[in-house]
Amino acid sequence: MNARPGEDPAESGEFHPTEADGAAELDANEPDATEPDAAEPELPEAVRLRVIQLAAHSMPTLRRDELPRPLWPVAKWEPRRRARLGGSKIAAQLAVDPDFRAAIATRATDEAGELGAAVSAGAPPAAADPVEVAALAYLTRPEGWLDLLGSAGAAVRSMDEDAEVTARLARAQQAVAHAEHDKALAEREAEKLRVELAELRDEVNELRSQSRTMSKDLREATRRADKATDSLAAERGRLAKAGEDHKVEVRRLRAELEQSSKALEAARHGARDARALNDARLWLLLETIGGAAQGLRRELALEPAERTPADLVAGALAELPGAAGQAAARGLEADDPARLDDLLSLPKAHLVVDGYNVTMRGYKELSLEQQRARLIRGLGGLAAQTGAETTIVFDGAERIHGLPPAPRGVRVLFSKKGVTADSVIRELVRNEPDGRVIVVISSDKEVADGTRRHGAYPLSSDTLLRRLGRS
């Protein structure tokens, strides 16, 4: 750690720097070290780098008074960074500060062991690394250290030259190996090309053979085309003759059609006469059946029914099933208000109305209460005019309170919860006896189709609205 103000660095003990500061602290806070004396020898690059490494490694073990002030920031870095970024300052301080150099030499020789002691004595082993010997000699400076530096420099240069020669030899060997490899590749490529050339020759021979075959096929195809052209000309002649024959046949058929039309007209006249005869027979049969029905009614003494099937369905509405069966019957389709009048004029006709289907098409601008009241009022007048039994079915979970009293001859029903008005309408139609005239008013296709299969006469909602508007 750094000495406090007023404290002697020599008394602060061993110097242990950290790596928190950067190279900027070195450049901003401390001036450059003094340039080395001219008497300092020029070190080979390898020796200079080794000296800097030894110093950088030993700096953290120095006391603060042994470390030059310009190197205080450098001592805070880790060894590799210290040697790389602060090498020039370390080298300069070693050249100008004998005390710093001696402190570094002491620690470097201690770590070097026997080699350090031998270099300090001026008698390094002959087999020692010349770079290490020169670095230790520069730091310890024993007698004759300049000669050791010169010998180390010569040895280093010799080693560099040997390394260069070795590198050149390795490059030459590598070039020879590449050349041999390229030669082998070229031979393989040449062999491959020879094989491909042989294959291409075989393909050329095969193509020539195919070309001869195709030429032969082309000549045969040309011959067949010429033959087909001749056949086409003959076929065109036959087609022209067939066209003439067709025209003759058309004229013959037209003559036959004219004769058939005359025969059909005669048949129609005969059919009208036959129909008149059948109508007379039917009228006589109906008169007979009517008389028989009146006699049967007198014999059975049947009283007029006080309740109709629709009254029974209304009473059992809570028991209505959720789905209706299918029946095989066919109704009639008619959307003319006059047709509605014709159907309602038949004896004991029953008019069943899908309430909201009609009101939503005719009075959708009104509230639901006003829609129901207007439709019930209109159907009351229609029932009074025609005398037909009338039933209106609305969707609803329960009967809506507050409705005005229904007019005479008009029945108002609401479907129970979970049951639609469509299901109630189909149940009403199914409970009527076969042969009774039942008119169902709804623009819902499913309602119309379902009731038609049960023998009803479905009419659209617009038909009823036009009829009510005419009243």
- Flag whether pLDDT at 154 surpasses 70: yes
Contact indicator for 153, 144 with CB cutoff of 8 Å:
no
- Flag whether pLDDT at 5 surpasses 50: no
The confidence score (pLDDT) of residue 394 equals: 92
Contact indicator for 363, 408 with CB cutoff of 8 Å:
no
Higher pLDDT, 338 or 287: 338
Question: Domain extents for the chain?
Answer: 9-143, 309-470
Contact indicator for 25, 81 with CB cutoff of 8 Å:
no
The confidence score (pLDDT) of residue 171 equals: 86
- Flag whether pLDDT at 228 surpasses 60: yes
Flag the least confident range among 123-132, 277-286, 377-386. 277-286
Q: What is the CATH number of domain 309-470?
A: 3.40.50
The confidence score (pLDDT) of residue 393 equals: 95
Flag the least confident range among 42-51, 75-84, 287-296. 287-296
The confidence score (pLDDT) of residue 291 equals: 59
3-class DSSP assignment, residue 412:
strand
Average pLDDT, the chain: 79
Angle at which helix 355-362 crosses helix 461-470, to 10 degrees, equals 70
Average pLDDT over residues 2-13: 38
Flag the least confident range among 25-29, 209-213, 315-319, 332-336. 25-29
The kind and range of the H/E element at 393 are: strand 389-394
pLDDT tens by residue, 346-362: 988 999 999 999 999 99
Contact indicator for 63, 75 with CB cutoff of 8 Å:
no
Token representation of residue 253? 């058929």
pLDDT tens by residue, 189-200: 999 999 999 999
pLDDT tens by residue, 162-187: 777 788 888 888 888 888 898 899 99
The confidence score (pLDDT) of residue 40 equals: 77
The confidence score (pLDDT) of residue 466 equals: 93
How far does CA 73 lie from the centroid of its chain?
62
Contact indicator for 52, 90 with CB cutoff of 8 Å:
yes
- Flag whether pLDDT at 316 surpasses 90: no
Q: Which amino acid is at 107?
A: R
The confidence score (pLDDT) of residue 7 equals: 40
Give the ranges where 113-144 is alpha helix by DSSP (H).
Answer: 114-120, 130-140
- Flag whether pLDDT at 378 surpasses 90: yes
The confidence score (pLDDT) of residue 327 equals: 32
Confidence of residue 438 (pLDDT cuts 50, 70, 90): very high
**Closest Cα to residue 426, out of 327, 284, 290?**
327
The confidence score (pLDDT) of residue 398 equals: 58
Please return the burial class of 351, using the count of CB atoms within 10 Å of its CB with bins 0-12, 13-18 and 19+.
Answer: buried
Confidence of residue 397 (pLDDT cuts 50, 70, 90): low
What are the φ/ψ torsions at residue 36 (nearest 5 degrees)?
-65, 155
The confidence score (pLDDT) of residue 28 equals: 41
- Flag whether pLDDT at 80 surpasses 90: no
The kind and range of the H/E element at 155 are: helix 145-300
Q: What angle do CA 71, 74, 76 make, to 5 degrees?
A: 120
Token representation of residue 427? 């149940």
What are the φ/ψ torsions at residue 20 (nearest 5 degrees)?
-75, -30
